Amino acid sequence: MDTALLTGMRLRSRMDLARVWPDFLVWLAVSVVTLGLGWLVVAGHFFRLVINSIEVVDPSGAPVGRLVCDYDVEKGTGALFAWLLICIATLGIGLLFYSFHAARAAANHTRIEWHAPG
C-alpha cells in the first residue's frame, strides 16, 4: 500500500449526545440491577458504538471511509466467564482491567471500510 495516499488523513467522530443517552440509561439500569457486573456485557457495546461513529477524512475534510467494529461480547463467553470470576473475587476492581481488555478486543476487531470513489 502506498502510504503517501494516507498523508493528511484524519479520524473524525460523528457521535452526538442524542445517540449516547439511551445507551447510557440502559447501562445505568443494568449496572444497578447487576451491582456493576453488567459492565462485562455493556463495555464491548460502548466501545463498538464509539468506533463505529468514527469516519476517515481526507486533508480537505471530505469523508473517504469509516471504521467498522465487528466485536461481539457473546463470541468470547469463555473469557467473559473468567472475567466475571475475577470481578467477583476482587470485589469489582477487576472491572477496571476488563475495560482495557474490552477496548483492546474491540480495536482488534476493527477495520477501515473505504467509500467507493466517485
Cα(54)–Cα(74) distance, integer angstroms: 23
Task: Give the model confidence (pLDDT) of 98-117 as tens digits.
Answer: 999 999 999 999 999 999 87
Under 8 Å between Cβ of 34 and 22: no
pLDDT tens-digit map of 48-95: 999 999 999 999 999 999 999 999 877 767 788 899 999 999 998 999
Handedness of CA 70, 38, 86, 77 (dihedral sign): negative
Single pTM value for the model: 0.85
C-alpha cell read off for 83 = 472475567
